[in-house]
């Protein structure tokens, strides 16, 4: 299956499930509170499949799988016969209406807990966040971070694995300092260091959060032995072969793969002389990297070689697997952590600590769905849990067109003792739609620029 088809199929499956869960939350609470649900639609546009249940609700699967909605009986939308007024949404108490509105995002949070619970029942492969190196003069090096130290906590919050440590560090964007708790892997000595992050610059499209702080993690390393040559590439034309060991480039000895990458990228369309070791014999070949451009428009060289990777360091990988109740507790904890991070990122967008150029749209989500699906079930469940939490958080934002906007109006009604005027609501809905369309446009443009 091509990458495009995998991305598209994974996106449709993931979004379809998450939208169904969200809308089912509204649907279930509406019925529990005696509201007549006229339509439950997954997707928009032309109906592909439709049916009705005994209570008269029309269920629809539509052609455009980019959302969904639950249409309830409501006098503000359509005329309602007197005998059916008790079934209308607007005739329910404020607290009943609040519960129906909140039920959608709540369903997404509950579903994320369920997904994470399943993951931890199966077992989640994790990697310990052990420092391999702090780059000279980096934020981490100036704070005194040393190699072979494991990151135990970020500002007092435990970071047992690389994934959690990554989320915790991203959450600190905008802070002037970050407190790290470290433990040396050989001596077991624990200590704390404080990173001065007043000048911290983090671009997720260029570096990982660890690299932006000057940290290299202990992971399998690319070696100077070639694992694969791309057919038709400059390396293939020059005669390089899998298994070749690069000893020198243009007379400069090579000790790490990063030196090979640097030489190739910095010299597009310039002939490089490679000294190789092949079958225990030295030979020399000339190769000319092809010219290409990165996402920022800078020229760089590409040779078409893939290095072999060293084995995982011993004791670095482990599996987090729990029993039924412990897995549920971990699912709750991880969902809370993702929720906290999502709200924090929204706040950082408003304060400017995170740029809108990092917003992602449907293309990036589809790529994430496809790549996680290609890795395996655990990765796909983790991706779905993350998107489910994000869907819940986004819908709670106080934009009138979202659930959070409806909730805002209902809270005002609860305080005032009377509803917000229809005119004010209409103005708010138009404003909310404009803001949402603007953000979606920015996210889509960001997606296109990353292609």
**Tokens standing for 374?**
């290609």
How far apart, in whole angstroms, are the C-alpha atoms of residue 218 and residue 210?
Answer: 12
Residues 6+ apart with CB under 8 A from 4: none
pLDDT at 297: 64
Instruction: Give the pLDDT confidence score for residue 445 in this predicted structure.
Output: 66
Torsion of CA 291, 296, 297, 303, to 10 degrees: 0
Q: Where in the sequence of the chain do the CATH 2.30.42.10 domains occur?
A: 124-220+311-320, 222-309
What DSSP character marks residue 85? G
Residue 374 CB burial class (10 angstroms; 0-12, 13-18, ≥19): middle
Residues 6+ apart with CB under 8 A from 139: 195, 196, 197, 199, 200, 213, 214
Interval 117-140: pLDDT, tens? 999 999 999 999 999 989 999 999
Query: Is 34 in contact with 15 (CB distance < 8 Å)?
Result: no
Which residues are catalytically annotated? 23
- Per the CB < 8 A criterion, the answer to whether 93 and 35 are in contact is no
User: For residue 27, how far is the Cα from the chain centroid?
Assistant: 28
Angle between helices 3-32 and 362-375 (to 10 degrees): 100
Token couple for 338: 């993702």
The pLDDT of residue 282 is 93
Of the chain, the end-to-end C-alpha distance in Å amounts to: 20
Flag residues of the chain having pLDDT under 70: 1-4, 294-297, 352-375, 440, 442-451
Please answer whether residues 186 and 218 qualify as being in contact, where contact means their C-beta atoms are separated by less than 8 angstroms.
Answer: no
Dist CA 67 CA 56 (whole Å): 22
Q: Minimal CA–CA distance to 170: which of 131, 141, 140, 213?
A: 213
Q: Do the beta carbons of residue 123 and residue 91 sit within 8 Å? A: no
CATH architecture of 124-220+311-320: Roll (2.30)
Taking alpha carbons only, the member of 361, 349, 389, 346 closest to residue 111 is 389
8 A C-beta contact, residue 403 and residue 396: yes
pLDDT digits 0-9 by tens, 379-417 = 888 889 988 999 999 899 888 888 998 899 899 989 888
Q: What is the DSSP letter of 419?
A: P
Phi and psi dihedrals of 371, rounded to 5? Answer: -65, -40
**How do beta strands 124-127 and 58-72 pair?**
unpaired
Residue 298 is predicted with a pLDDT of 74
Q: What is the pTM of this model?
A: 0.82
Domain 222-309: give its CATH code. 2.30.42.10
């Amino acid at each position: 299956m091509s990458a495009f088809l995998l991305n598209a199929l994974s996106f449709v499956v993931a979004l379809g499930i998450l939208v169904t869960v969200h809308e089912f939350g509204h649907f279930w609470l509406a019925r529990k509170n005696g509201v007549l649900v006229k339509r439950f639609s997954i997707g928009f546009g032309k109906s592909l499949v439709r049916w009705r249940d005994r209570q008269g609700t029309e269920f629809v699967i539509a052609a455009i799988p980019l959302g969904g909605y639950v249409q309830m009986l409501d006098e503000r939308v359509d005329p309602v016969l007197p005998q059916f007024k008790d079934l209308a949404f607007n005739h329910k108490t404020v607290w009943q209406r609040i519960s129906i509105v909140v039920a959608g995002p709540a369903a997404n949070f509950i579903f994320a807990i369920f997904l994470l619970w399943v993951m931890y029942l199966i077992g989640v492969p994790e990697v310990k966040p052990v420092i391999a190196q702090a780059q000279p003069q980096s934020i981490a090096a100036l704070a005194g971070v040393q190699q072979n130290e494991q990151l135990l906590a970020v500002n007092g919050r435990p970071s047992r694995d690389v994934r959690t440590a990554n989320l915790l560090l991203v959450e600190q964007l905008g802070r002037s300092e970050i407190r790290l708790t470290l433990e040396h892997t050989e001596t077991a000595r624990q200590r704390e260091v404080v990173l001065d992050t007043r000048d911290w610059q983090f671009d997720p499209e260029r570096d990982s959060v660890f690299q932006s702080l000057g940290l290299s993690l202990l992971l399998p390393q690319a070696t100077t032995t070639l694992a694969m040559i791309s057919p038709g590439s400059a390396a293939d034309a020059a005669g390089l072969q899998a298994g070749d060991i690069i000893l020198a480039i243009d007379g400069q000895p090579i000790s790490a793969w990063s030196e090979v990458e640097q030489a190739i990228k910095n010299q597009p369309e310039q002939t490089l002389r490679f000294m190789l070791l092949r079958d225990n014999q030295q030979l020399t070949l000339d190769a000319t990297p092809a010219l290409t451009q990165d996402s920022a428009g800078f020229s760089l060289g590409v040779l078409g070689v893939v290095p072999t990777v060293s084995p995982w360091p011993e004791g670095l990988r482990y599996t987090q697997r729990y029993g039924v109740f412990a897995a549920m507790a971990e699912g709750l904890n991880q969902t809370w952590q993702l929720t906290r991070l999502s709200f924090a990122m929204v706040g950082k967008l408003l304060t400017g600590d995170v740029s809108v150029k990092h917003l992602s749209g449907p293309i990036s989500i589809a790529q994430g769905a496809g790549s996680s699906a290609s890795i395996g079930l655990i990765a796909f469940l983790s991706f779905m849990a993350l998107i489910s939490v994000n869907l819940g958080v986004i819908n709670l934002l106080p934009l009138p067109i979202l659930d959070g906007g409806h909730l805002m109006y209902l809270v005002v009604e609860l305080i005032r003792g009377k509803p917000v005027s229809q005119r004010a609501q209409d103005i708010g809905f138009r404003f909310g739609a404009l803001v949402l369309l603007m953000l979606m446009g920015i996210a889509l443009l960001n997606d296109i620029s990353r292609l």
